[in-house]
Amino acid sequence: MEDCNDCTWKKSGSQARCRRAGLRGPLRGEKDWEVEVPRKTRRQEGGQQPPESRTRTISPHPNFVTAAGFAQIERARQAAREAHGAAQISGDRAKLAKASSDLRYWSARRGSARILTADQSRQTVQFGSTVTIVREARKQTFQIVGEDEAEPANGKLSYVSPLARTIMNKEVGDTATLGDSEIAIAAVSADEVASDHAADRSD
């Protein structure tokens, strides 16, 4: 199967798999980063099944975030905390399991987050840069951001994605190759991408 061009997660073999596709696989050192969610493993007393379980894996990459990305993590953690409290009151085991998992995940991401700000004096592509490229006669504009804040369809591209890594440290006028495509750097700025400048899909 093909690799995902918007992230470093693979869709084949025993490697880590595409987060956006809802798949996963073993990573080196993954055991230390797993966030557990209860699953259906055995029948409980009374014939009821426990909630389904899956493992939510935290990325092994440094958790670089923009200021906006850090605020997003804070909001997600607060929402998980509120959901957890509500689930405890309601006694809904499935909701409690999900809220517990989300709270552990976002708490871990909050603790490991490192806010990076794009250097205004640099003219090259860096974390936080807003970049316009030309690929196959099509212009695409996106900001390079952290993994949790990445939304390619809305102009937010993870810094660990193949495209971001390919153009990192390039400047206007430079070209790079990703797969069979040649990419030309048309513009670079340290400003955040505007919401109405959402990029085309970058895969």
Query: pLDDT of 96-112, one tens digit each?
Result: 999 999 999 999 999 99
Q: How far is CA 18 from CA 29, 35, 82, 146, 199, in A?
A: 18, 17, 29, 16, 20
Evaluate if residue 32 carries a pLDDT over 60. Answer: no
Evaluate if residue 46 carries a pLDDT over 80. Answer: no
pLDDT at 44: 44
At 55, is the pLDDT very low, low, confident or very high (cuts 50, 70, 90)? low
pLDDT at 12: 38
Sign of CA dihedral 177, 181, 187, 189: negative
Distance CA 36, CA 34 (A): 6
Lowest mean pLDDT among 7-16, 85-94, 101-110, 142-151: 7-16
Evaluate if residue 39 carries a pLDDT over 60. Answer: no
pLDDT at 4: 46
* Residue 39 or 69, more confident: 69
Lowest mean pLDDT among 35-39, 121-125, 175-179: 35-39
Averaged pLDDT for residues 60-74: 96
pLDDT in tens, 144-179: 999 999 999 999 999 999 999 999 999 999 999 999
Averaged pLDDT for residues 46-64: 69
∠ CA 21-58-33, nearest 5°, is: 135
Mean pLDDT score of the chain, rounded to an integer?
77
Domains and CATH numbers, the chain: 30-115 (no CATH), 130-197 (3.10.50.30)
Lowest mean pLDDT among 8-12, 106-110, 135-139: 8-12
Q: Is residue 134 a contact partner of residue 123, using CB atoms and an 8 Å limit?
A: no
pLDDT at 59: 93
* The one-letter amino acid at 98: K
